[in-house]
Amino acid sequence: MKECGESSICNKRIFVYHIPHVFSNAVKKRIKGKTTMTTYTGISVKKLSDVFDRKSLPENPQEIMKLLPIDVEKIEILNDSVKCSIPTKIFCDGNEVYKVIQFQCNGHWKLKISGTDIDLKSLFMNDCFNANKESVQTVIQGVHLLKLCAGVQISKTVFMSRYHTLNKWTFDHDNDNGSRLIHSVVCNRLVGMNSVSGTCKKCLK
């Protein structure tokens, strides 16, 4: 898989599974002949030069600010970067969980959730962006699609080790229908798009 001009290791099955999750307009079709082939319509491939160009870098944080969509809620301007917080509408003990993207003037971006730095390579995501609105929007849309680790739900009293935390998680401030979830203190915070359980490997141990 290639994103923004650089390679990420990804086998064919995972790549095909990601298509409908990443491209909501993609339509799946099966063509039968000597062999059955699966195709997707409604998407197209752009030249890598149109997606990423190392010569096109933001000169300063103010240039990055101009590239952000108007619906970004929280913005923090630093000396060489801009942080923007993406709401998840998921609340942990009454506090909303945000996905914090840091766009740097060197053309790279970072992601942090609940104080944890996210390993983008493990999610098959490239950490580069181009100095145009389309590239920045692509990063933000990709982060929107990332799923938070669901932890392990419990309904009765349990004995926990010091390596786990127990919190009440709710959606859209719906405190009446919250869930008590256990997470590992080294939780990955996110799961891959092809995750079946919705819980990261560290929390499943």
Q: Which of 83-97, 115-129, 152-166 has the lowest mean pLDDT?
A: 152-166
36 is written with which tokens?
Answer: 């059955």
Domain ranges of the chain: 2-148, 152-204
**116/186 Cα distance (integer angstroms):** 9
What pTM does this model have? 0.74
pLDDT band at 54 (very low <50, low <70, confident <90, very high): low
pLDDT band at 177 (very low <50, low <70, confident <90, very high): confident
pLDDT at 204: 86
28 Cβ contact list (under 8 Å, min separation 6): 20, 38, 39, 40
pLDDT band at 3 (very low <50, low <70, confident <90, very high): very low
What value does the mean pLDDT take over residues 53-70? 84
177 is written with which tokens?
Answer: 């229908």
By CB neighbour count within 10 A (0-12 exposed, 13-18 middle, 19+ buried), where does 20 fall? middle
Torsion sign across C-alpha atoms 192, 77, 73, 150: positive
- Mean pLDDT score across all residues of the chain: 82
**115/171 Cα distance (integer angstroms):** 20
DSSP 123: G
pLDDT at 36: 77
202 close to 186: Cβ distance less than 8 angstroms:
yes
What value does the mean pLDDT take over residues 163-191? 86
pLDDT band at 155 (very low <50, low <70, confident <90, very high): confident
* Residue corresponding to tokens 């349990």: 158
